[in-house]
Structure 1
Amino acid sequence: MTPMARLAGRTAVVTGASRGIGRGIAERLGRDGALVAVHYGNDGDAAAATVAAVEKDGGRAFAFRAELDRPDAVDVFYAALDRGLAGAGAGREVDILVNNAGASGSGRLHQLTPEVFDRLFAVNVKAPLFLVQRALDRFRDGGRIVNVSSLVSRNAYPESVTYSMTKGALDTMTLALAKELGPRGITVNTVAPGYVATDMNARHRTTPEAVAELAALSALGRVGTPQDIADVVAFLASDDARWITGQYLAAGGGTGL
């Protein structure tokens, strides 16, 4: 089976797909043949660029907006998704959901505020859980759910304690959903990136020395790329991963070994 045919006929929804890891995932799933629904929160131009990149590679995609920290986030999300699916000539059924969207930046313990805490849990935990709940009647049996976590859920990271807590909650959600949805053949897995060169992390690589320090954390001696993570997600979204569920896949190039 060629890469373009691997996900032919399937619909993939990728949250936070306008930039960074999410864009890399959207592009890869598009190359594998899926119709890709590119979710974004605020940057419509960046989302349009993701759609253009998918289409340039011969894939199909559309963008839709929903701010995941709003009380009505799930309603807005699926209303916008359904408009996009109809515009693409597709039904409401979904085969792949990648919960990639995330908020960061909580800071250390003495820097925490209830407002930031609530926002991070709303985007990183509440939204993924209720997006899955709402999708149960539209998910085809044999579908795939991939939650994008972080290595900070398994390592002490006091620099952003609330962010770490949200990723730990996401990991636990993966376990519960994998068992809950297993009878339908729906697999649920976590991919946990290490340090990846994205716009969100740009503040950490302001000098060559800073980049070298980050690269040294990996056993492979470099900083990760969105494509490194996208390829792992694409594997989990494919039939090749049909016997893998409830798992935490560390995608950090051997960080911390």
Structure 2
Amino acid sequence: MSRTVLVTGGGTGIGRAVAEYFAAQGDTVVITGRRSGPLKEVAAQSANVRAVTCDHTDPDALGRLLAELPEHIDVLINNAGGNTDLDAESGSEADLMSYARAFRANLEANLISAALTTKALESRLSAGGSVVQIGSIAADQASGSYGAAKAGLANWNLNVAAELGPRGITANVVSPGYIADTEFFRDRLSDERRSALVEATATGRAGVPSDIVGAVAFLASSAARHITGQVLNVNGGARSTR
């Protein structure tokens, strides 16, 4: 039976891979993000994918998004986010005001965006559906405001699971380790750092987007209807590299 799936941040990397998977299953997929170019590129490749530009940190933008969405959403994947520190200019002033802006940017991108999106869609989520948050191994490491935001996401997800559980809706977190072939590091990952991240795994390889797709697909499937409020680590058994 075809489902309706919303993937935030669906234009690149993990989000794109997830969207392409559900579309290939015959589901109707809506992808969102702030950049229209990548979204349109994905949508052009499948009749099952529709692109809508949206900044999920903006309540007004989410209000406009609702007008573009179907009445019922079966699967919500909160994937939009990323480490906003990687977008900051090097050598920026380390004063308290700058620190506050940088810290809030990661909270907005990774925690508040998911919270606002889930709240906005709460009444449209279908009974027996699924919410999947994309977390990070950074939540369990010393990773600054990005790690704090992802740790907060995992904690907040417990509330989502409790609130939506009576309607048969599950809410879980998929927590990736290092995933290659994404824009996460903005092409700034040194060979030495990449080698360290791979060597920290038990599997001896970097993750790829399809690894995350498999976990998301499972949590959104009929096989996972009694799994909720959980964090599924998909990191190849990685240890801390710090």
TM range (shorter): 0.7 to 0.9
Cα shift at 1:147: 0.4
Residue aligning to 2:51: 63
CA–CA distance in structure 2, aligned partners of residues 105 and 40 of structure 1: 15
- The answer on whether the counterparts of 2:82 and 2:184 sit within 8 Å (CA) in structure 1 is no
Which consecutive residues of structure 2, in runs of 5 or more, have no partner in the other structure? Answer: 87-93
Alignment of 1:61-100 (within 5 A): 61-79=49-67, 81-82=68-69, 91-100=70-79
Matching residue within 83, 89, 92 for 1:104 = 83
Matching residue within 23, 36, 44 for 2:29 = 36
Cα shift at 1:27: 0.9
- Count of residue pairs brought into register by the alignment: 231
Matching residue within 199, 218, 223 for 1:235 = 218
Residue aligning to 1:193: 176
Cα shift at 1:63: 0.3
Matching residue within 17, 20, 37 for 1:27 = 20
Instruction: Between 166-175 and 209-218, report the one with greater CA deviation.
Output: 209-218
Instruction: Between 62-71 and 183-192, report the one with greater CA deviation.
Output: 62-71
Q: Identity of aligned pairs, percent?
A: 33
Instruction: Between 68-77 and 185-194, report the one with greater CA deviation.
Output: 68-77
Deviations 1:43-82 (A, max 9, x none): x2211222234x2xxx611000112233523213323x33
Equivalent position SS for 1:171: helix
Cα shift at 1:123: 2.2
Matching residue within 183, 206, 209 for 1:226 = 209
- The answer on whether the counterparts of 2:207 and 2:235 sit within 8 Å (CA) in structure 1 is yes
Instruction: Between 242-251 and 134-143, report the one with greater CA deviation.
Output: 134-143
Are residues 1:114 and 2:93 paired?
no
TM-score, structure 2 normalization: 0.88
Deviations 1:156-201 (A, max 9, x none): 22xxx11111111110111111111111000000000001111222
CA–CA distance in structure 2, aligned partners of residues 133 and 202 of structure 1: 30
Alignment of 1:124-139 (within 5 A): 124-139=110-125
After superposition, the CA RMSD in angstroms is: 2.1
Residue aligning to 1:9: 2
CA–CA distance in structure 2, aligned partners of residues 23 and 230 of structure 1: 10
Are residues 1:145 and 2:128 paired?
no
Alignment of 1:40-51 (within 5 A): 40-42=33-35, 44-51=36-43
- The answer on whether the counterparts of 1:18 and 1:40 sit within 8 Å (CA) in structure 2 is yes
Equivalent position SS for 1:136: helix
Residue aligning to 1:203: 187
- The answer on whether the counterparts of 1:73 and 1:127 sit within 8 Å (CA) in structure 2 is no
- The answer on whether the counterparts of 1:69 and 1:119 sit within 8 Å (CA) in structure 2 is no
- The answer on whether the counterparts of 1:74 and 1:127 sit within 8 Å (CA) in structure 2 is no
CA–CA distance in structure 2, aligned partners of residues 68 and 116 of structure 1: 18
